[in-house]
Amino acid sequence: MNKRVTFDNRVLPYLLVTPQIVITVVFFLWPAGQAVWQSLLRQNPFGTSVRFVWFQNFEKLIGDEIYYDAILVTFEFGLLVAFASMAIALFLAVMADRVIKAATAYKTLLIWPYAVAPAVAGVLWLFMFAPTVGIVAYALDSFGYLWNFRVNGGEAMALVVFAATWKQISYNFLFFLAGLQSIPRSLIEAAAIDGAGPTRRFWTIVFPLLSPTTFFLLVVNIVYAFFDTFGIIHAVTAGGPYNATTTMVYKVFNDGFIGQDLGSSAAQSVVLMVIVVTLTVVQFRFIERRVHY
Amino acid sequence: MVENRPIVTIISHALIWLGILIVAFPIYVTFIASTHSLSDVVAAPMPLLPGDLFWENYGTALSAGSGAVSGGTPVWFMMWNSLVMALAIAIGKIFISILSAFAIVYFRFRFRMVFFWMIFLTLMLPVEVRILPTFEVVANLGLLDTYAGLTIPLIASATATFLFRQFFMTIPDELAEAARMDGAGPMRFFKDIVLPLSMTNIAALFVILFIFGWNQYLWPLLITDNLQTIVIGIYSMLNVGDNEAEWNIIMATTMLAMIPPVLVVVFMQRWFVKGLVESEK
């Protein structure tokens, strides 16, 4: 990672990195350190006394059923969103790959949801599914299904999954289409000459060759579902009903800002940091080696 | 494809169009709702063809906001705040990243790798995991509800720095050598050679970062009060307690919140795709 030709200057390089380093230290490293430190403290509800409690906040988390539920909800939500958005995107990409001439036009028609803010995507779906007002809720009503995601936890989960999936399809579509277009035609032709039909060719040649893309997207989608969907959950369900859609990120926010339980919120932040670090390492370790274009 | 079976091609087209229609359906419903009166929108089933209140609803939203929110902020002001935030984040990130990447690639200096790893760490610290302490830092600096507080904490970016570093590594050494031989200093080399060569990368990053900035949610939710961005504005229009949510105005605002980033993606598609692919490497 070194250049052969470099410039000599004693001061200039430090000046050049200063803006980024200052912002990194003040707004990233210092707060992250604070989070770790606060996770070892406990405050009384009025914030008048602070005690150092070692790992008690973490011990409390381990025994906390509500936190346990939040972990389950997070994984359920993440896997549903990743699976649904990747399956739909792969299907559309395979179709688009068949009609190569029109693929570019279709790309334009499918990529724009990427630009929609998660919270706004949530509001779009909220409006269609709002009890008594929403058009889909009305349709379900007339089929005899009483839809009300404000009391039914499963329905609330379904709604946030729809919104999060809808927004993510475009991203996955783009990468799957690029992956499909990089598969050598000769392989597929050879299989066709050997008499393999489209379905057989897809499962025995195309899908295995796509596996680096699929694996990469799986990690990206899980990161997206864990962290970037806060807006959807906050705007649509506020974690409810009865914590049915309270993910780990939402709970950090809720316990810290609404519940004012700073120690527990900080301990949860630390748990999240560990998850992010793990996912980042996975992404760098495995993806760098496995993706060949 | 390999076989030339027209029926399969037709089915493929049809299935894609079905997908496109399903993906576009929420937007269609939103647009329709934004052109009707509130009573039409909430009377289930809502109409499925455009109404005649397009100008009125969008005008009300832009100039006055939602009446159901006490002291409703006009949407034009929210859009202005979002624009300031998106531009400041995009330009700020590109600016500080290109400088630090230039320093790290083209100089040998003490603590170079320390700085590099510090920047790398930010990749692992999304704002969602350090909400409270970051809020406290900004509050202590007296930056709550200011444009500075809204944007500066989001400006540091490992991704942009890596992207520029990667790109600088591909610039042939001969260029730097020639520049040095001609007596150009490092900043002259940066301005006359590195910057022009980086333009496509800058454009690609700008598209991605503009969308990233415009769509921010958690951070403005925490620190803004009067400087509401449009995404947060929609949230406060929805959460009106006992008042009835003004769905027609909310839906008009939602359309307005989507238009700028969607236009950027559609019209700068080439750079958008490049930015997306490169920033994930």
- The DSSP call for residue B107 is B
CA distance A290 to chain B (A): 12
Mean pLDDT of A86-115: 86
Question: Residues B246, B72: contact at Cβ < 8 Å?
Answer: no
- Using a CB-CB cut-off of 8 Å, the residues of chain A touching B234 are 119-120, 123, 235
Give the model's pLDDT for residue A270.
Answer: 84
Taking the CB of residue A173, how many other CB atoms lie within 10 A of it? Answer: 27
Reference B83, options B222, B220, B223; nearest CA is B220
A170 or B69, greater pLDDT: A170
Sign of CA dihedral B246, B249, B252, B257: negative
- Using a CB-CB cut-off of 8 Å, the residues of chain A touching B20 are 106, 109-110
Sign of CA dihedral B60, B64, B65, B66: negative
Give the model's pLDDT for residue B69.
Answer: 67
Alpha carbons A128 and A136: distance in angstroms, whole number: 5
Q: Model ipTM?
A: 0.86
Across the interface, whether the CB atoms of B128 and A178 are under 8 A apart is answered no
Across the interface, whether the CB atoms of A24 and B104 are under 8 A apart is answered no
Which residues does chain B have with pLDDT short of 50? Answer: none
Alpha carbons A86 and A4: distance in angstroms, whole number: 43
Test mutation, B113, B118, B125, B236, chain A, max A CBs within 10 A: B125
Secondary structure of B73-91 in HEC code, one letter for each residue: CCHHHHHHHHHHHHHHHHH
Q: What are the boundaries of each domain within chain A?
A: 57-290
Residue of B nearest to A37 (CA): B133
Helix (H) or strand (E) holding B207: helix B199-214
Across the interface, whether the CB atoms of A29 and B118 are under 8 A apart is answered yes
Give the model's pLDDT for residue A147.
Answer: 81
Test mutation, A3, A5, A6, A20, chain B, max B CBs within 10 A: A20
Alpha carbons A168 and A119: distance in angstroms, whole number: 13
Of B95, B254, B269, the CB nearest to A124: B254
Do β-strands A41-43 and A50-52 pair in parallel, antiparallel, or remain unpaired?
Answer: antiparallel
Strand, helix or coil for residue A293: coil
The dihedral formed by the CA atoms of B95, B99, B100 and B105, expressed in degrees to the nearest 10: 140
| Range scoring the smallest mean pLDDT among A129-143, A170-184, A260-274, B58-72 | B58-72
Taking the CB of residue A244, how many other CB atoms lie within 10 A of it? Answer: 19
Give the model's pLDDT for residue A1.
Answer: 55
Give the model's pLDDT for residue A163.
Answer: 93
Alpha carbons B167 and B205: distance in angstroms, whole number: 12
Residue of B nearest to A288 (CA): B281
Alpha carbons A178 and A93: distance in angstroms, whole number: 9
Across the interface, whether the CB atoms of A27 and B156 are under 8 A apart is answered yes
Question: Residues A35, A270: contact at Cβ < 8 Å?
Answer: yes
- Using a CB-CB cut-off of 8 Å, the residues of chain B touching A277 are 124
- Using a CB-CB cut-off of 8 Å, the residues of chain A touching B19 are 88, 91-92, 95, 110
Give the model's pLDDT for residue A44.
Answer: 67
Give the model's pLDDT for residue A290.
Answer: 47
Across the interface, whether the CB atoms of A32 and B133 are under 8 A apart is answered yes
CA distance A133 to chain B (A): 5
Across the interface, whether the CB atoms of A4 and B173 are under 8 A apart is answered yes
CA distances to A231, B138, B147 from B228, rounded to whole Å, are 15, 17, 10
- Using a CB-CB cut-off of 8 Å, the residues of chain B touching A38 are 132-133
Give the model's pLDDT for residue B102.
Answer: 92
- Using a CB-CB cut-off of 8 Å, the residues of chain B touching A115 are 211, 215, 258, 261-262, 264-265
Reference A133, options B246, B127, B66, B16; nearest CA is B246
Residue B241 zone, left/alpha/beta (φ > 0; ψ -120 to 50; rest)? left
Give the model's pLDDT for residue A76.
Answer: 92
Burial A139-157 (b: 16+ CB within 10 A, else e): ebbeeeeebbbeeebebbb
Band of residue A291 on the pLDDT scale cut at 50, 70, 90 = very low
Residue A6 zone, left/alpha/beta (φ > 0; ψ -120 to 50; rest)? beta
Reference A120, options B239, B262, B231; nearest CA is B231
Across the interface, whether the CB atoms of A252 and B124 are under 8 A apart is answered no
Of B19, B125, B265, the CB nearest to A92: B19
Test mutation, B38, B89, B128, chain A, max A CBs within 10 A: B128
- Using a CB-CB cut-off of 8 Å, the residues of chain A touching B97 are 20
Class of domain A57-290: mainly alpha
Band of residue A80 on the pLDDT scale cut at 50, 70, 90 = very high
Band of residue A287 on the pLDDT scale cut at 50, 70, 90 = low
| Range scoring the smallest mean pLDDT among A7-16, A234-243, B127-136 | B127-136
Q: How many residues does chain A have?
A: 293
CA distance A231 to chain B (A): 6
CA distance A216 to chain B (A): 9
Of A107, A169, A272, the CB nearest to B129: A272
Strand, helix or coil for residue A51: strand
Please give the structure tokens belonging to residue B220.
């403005």
CA distance A154 to chain B (A): 21
Alpha carbons A244 and A154: distance in angstroms, whole number: 7
List, in order, residues 6 or more apart from A28 with CB less than 8 Å away.
B121, B122, B125, B130, B156
Q: Which amino acid is at A83?
A: F
What percent of chain A lies above the pLDDT cut of 90?
A: 18
* Residues A120, A125, A126: CA angle, nearest 5 degrees: 90
- Using a CB-CB cut-off of 8 Å, the residues of chain B touching A110 are 19-20, 23
pLDDT at A26 over 80: yes
B142 burial level (CB within 10 Å; 0-12, 13-18, 19+): exposed
CA distance A13 to chain B (A): 5
Band of residue A293 on the pLDDT scale cut at 50, 70, 90 = very low
pLDDT in tens, A184-205: 888 888 888 888 888 888 888 8
